[in-house]
Amino acid sequence: MGGILVIGSYNRDTVLRLARFPAPGETLTALGMAQFHGGKGSNQAVAAARAGGRVALIAALGQDEAGEAAQALWAAEGIAAQAVQITGAPTGAATILLDAAGENQIIIIPGANAELNLPIGFPPPDDIAVVLGQLETPQAATAALFRALPKARCMLNVAPAAPILPELLAATDMLVLNETEAAILAQREAAPADLALALAAETMREVIVTAGALGAFWARPDGVVIDAAPPRVAITDTTGAGDAFLGAFAAFSAEGLAPERLLRQAVTAGALACTEAGAVPSLPYRAAILALAK
C-alpha cells in the first residue's frame, strides 16, 4: 500500500460556542470556549492516519507553544512530520463560531502557514500513492509538490474557496470542496451534483462536492456522477467533517478501494466527525468507520 503525503496548515483553534451566530454589528455572549488542534492540513493528516494510512506531513510552524503542541500531536498520531519549517511568524490560529445546531463559521489567521515553501531540491518520499493539499498554505508550494510526484494521485481541497493558480490546477487530478465552496467557485447556486458536474467540465478534473446530510457527489469530466449518502448521526459540531472525509478518502484510495465503497467509507468518516466537539477529537478511527459503513 502506497503512502499519503499531506502539505498544509496547522492552526490552534479557539472555538466559541454560541446559541446562534451574531448579526452584523451585534454583540453576543458565548456559552463556552475551548481550544483544539486544527488546520485543514494537519486535520487531514490525522484523519488519514486514523483511517489506517501511512502518512507524512509538510507544514510550517512558529517558534511557540502552539508549534510544540502540533509536533507532539503528530508524533502521537504516528505521522512522519516531513520538512516541518519553523518560521519567525507565530503558529497559525483560527477562531471558530459554533451555533446550537453544530454549524460553524471560521476565521483563520495564517501566521506561519503563509510562509510554507517547498525547499529547493526537496526529495519527495518514495512510494507515495496520494498527495493532499488545501488552500490555507501558499498554492505555489503545493503546485511544486504535486509536480514532483507525477505518479501519485494529487487531490486539492479547495478550502478556503479561492481562485486556483493555473500551475496548481494543471498538476491536480481531483478537486474536493463543500457545496458552499463549490457555489463560490462556480459563481452560482445549484444542486451539489450539478455543481460537481459543472466544475468537472470546466476544469477537466474529477470533482467531489460534499454536501453535509446529502452526502458526497463525485463527478468526472465525461459527465458520470457517483454519490453516497452518510449514515444518520446526532450532530454536535461539524468542524473537521470535511477534513475527516478527505483524510479517509485518501487512506482508502491508497488501498485501491472501488469508487462506490471508497465514497461510502469517506462520507461515513465525515458523519462520525460531527458527533463530538472540536476538529481533532472527533476524527474517527478505522474500526469505527468500517463498522458504520457496512
Q: What is the DSSP letter of 135?
A: S
What is the three-class DSSP state of 92? strand
Cβ contact 78:56 at 8 Å: no
Based on the number of CB atoms within 10 Å of its own CB, is 109 exposed (0-12), middle (13-18) or buried (19 or more)?
Answer: middle
Cis, peptide link before residue 160, omega less than 30° from 0: yes
Q: Which three cell numbers stand for residue 281?
A: 477529537
CB 218 within 8 A of CB 226: yes
Residue 92 near residue 142, CB atoms below 8 Å: no
- The yes or no reply on residue 240 touching ligand RIB (CB under 6 A) is yes
**Min dist. Cβ of residue 205 to ligand RIB (A):** 21
**Min CB(269)–ligand RIB separation in Å:** 14
| Piece of the chain touching ligand RIB by CB under 6 A; list 71-79, 174-182, 192-200, 237-245 | 237-245
Residues in 23-52 at the binding interface with ligand RIB, rule: CB under 6 A: 38-40, 43
Does residue 239 belong to the site contacting ligand RIB (CB under 6 A)? Answer: yes
Q: Is 194 tagged catalytic?
A: no
> Shortest approach of ligand RIB to residue 114 CB, angstroms?
13
Nearer to ligand RIB, 8 or 192 (CB): 8
212 is a site residue for ligand RIB (CB under 6 A): no
To ligand RIB, the closest distance from the beta carbon of 162 in angstroms equals 14
The catalytically annotated residue of 13, 227, 237, 243 is 243
If phi > 0 it is left, if psi is from -120 to 50 it is alpha, else beta; for residue 181 that is alpha
Please count the other Cβ atoms lying within 10 Å of the Cβ belonging to residue 256. 10
Work out whether 70 is an interface residue with ligand RIB (CB under 6 A). no
In terms of CB distance, is 115 or 167 closer to ligand RIB? 115
User: 230 with 272: CB under 8 angstroms?
Assistant: no
Instruction: List interacting residues with ligand RIB (CB under 6 A).
Output: 9, 11, 13, 38-40, 43, 94, 106, 108, 136, 239-240, 242-243, 279
Residues with active-site annotation: 243
